[in-house]
Amino acid sequence: MTTRLNFCPPLQRQPTPTTTQASARAEHGARAAPRVLAQVLAWCPQGALRALATAALAAGLAAPAAAQMFKDPVLQGLYQKDRFVELQSLARERLASQASDAQAVLALAVSALQGNDAPTRQAAIERAQACMAQQPQAAVCHYALGVVLGVQSMSEGLLKAARTSGTVKDALAQAHALEPAWYPARSALVEFYLLAPGMMGGSIARAQELARAAPTPEQARVLQARVDLQEGRSAAALQSLAPLLKTPDAGLADDAAQWGFAAASKLISEGQAAQAQPFLERLARDRPDSASGPYGLARVRAAEGAHAEALKLYDQAALAPDAARLPLDYRRGIALQELGRTADAKAAFTRFVGVGKGQKASLEDARKRLQALGG
């Protein structure tokens, strides 16, 4: 979640991200899937997109004035509990009886971004387009189109992404224009400007403008931290995000946790684990049900050479409900190998490679380590 890897296309405006940056994106929070447009519009190859889709494939979504996903309490309840299969089922039922149900269209879009199923995404796109035609003033319809089309077109290749980038940007911009206080729409547009190449409409300056113009100081702070993270100012991002981990606004708190975890992971991989440790300690304390805190602290301990302590923390992280999103067996394997527990290390690497989910560089490294261990 540490060598250089061409993670995104060379045409990207920013320097090609390192594996460190790619890993930070992939090891975001569990509900980053419908929250972070970094993965929706990362303009990365299909393989990278597939790996990221399970972690975070959309923008921050929320109702006006608060960063919750839905105005509808039933849909919001399912979303908050990560019950995306039920969310998708309910969305389909509601749309079958009322095709103009904009909240159900949004639910269909959110649930479509939980995997790598192109037909499901295409169905969500068609529903969003119909929603826009029927309710042109409904921000959620434009938003749903923008985030799902961004993923779908990227999965079909860079040429398709280039052809549809204008449509994606326009949809996100219209969602924001219709409901400027809706944090998810603003967050999604910030992500687009940060991650899209300049030739496709990306602009750091526009992202910063949107961040500064956010309707609350908390929104402005978290979005500016996102800009800092993109620009390589990871320590500054952590300083801004740490106080927001327990903000009453759940959506903002989620973004603070996810982006902070990404910044901390980047610092660890750059040999600056000490700078990441205070944030990760706070993350573990403030979000005890998440694997991110103990996992990140395990990375810190491993960087210090304390592999036995790291292994205990990896085991603790494995107990969290969102543990499956993290490459725990890969990291366990490294710790076990360093401790001389060859058989256990081989078993961990074998599990990681067998599942086949994770960064390409990590999978390749695990295979090399297996070979060296005689596996």
Q: 358 with 327: CB under 8 angstroms?
A: yes
Is 288 among the domain residues? Answer: no
- C-alpha dihedral, 14 to 163 to 37 to 77, nearest 10°: 180
Q: What is the pLDDT along the chain (375 residues), one digit of tens a residue?
A: 222 222 233 223 333 333 334 344 444 433 433 343 433 333 333 333 333 333 333 333 222 234 577 899 999 899 878 789 999 999 999 999 999 999 999 999 999 988 778 999 999 999 999 999 999 999 999 999 999 998 898 888 888 888 889 999 999 999 999 999 888 899 999 999 998 888 888 899 999 999 999 999 999 999 999 999 999 999 999 999 999 999 988 888 988 999 999 999 999 999 999 999 999 999 999 999 999 999 999 999 999 999 999 999 999 999 998 898 899 999 999 999 999 999 999 999 999 999 988 888 999 999 999 999 986
Range of the domain at 150: 1-215
Is 262 among the domain residues? Answer: no
Is 334 among the domain residues? Answer: no
| Distance separating alpha carbons of residues 230 and 238, to the nearest angstrom | 12
Which pLDDT belongs to residue 67?
Answer: 59
Is 236 among the domain residues? Answer: no
φ, ψ for residue 15 (rounded to 5)? -55, 145
The CATH number of whichever domain residue 69 belongs to comes to 1.25.40
Is 301 among the domain residues? Answer: no
Is 353 among the domain residues? Answer: no
Is 73 among the domain residues? Answer: yes
Tokens of 356: 């086949």
| Tens digit of each residue's pLDDT (9 = 90 or more) over 49-64 | 333 333 333 333 222 2
Is 171 among the domain residues? Answer: yes
Closest CA to 49 of 195, 184, 194: 195
Give, in degrees to the nearest 5, the angle at Cα 153 between 166 and 102.
Answer: 75
Q: 139 with 175: CB under 8 angstroms?
A: yes
Q: How many domains are contained in the chain?
A: 1
Q: Which residues have C-beta within 8 Å of that of residue 74, sequence separation ≥ 6?
A: 90
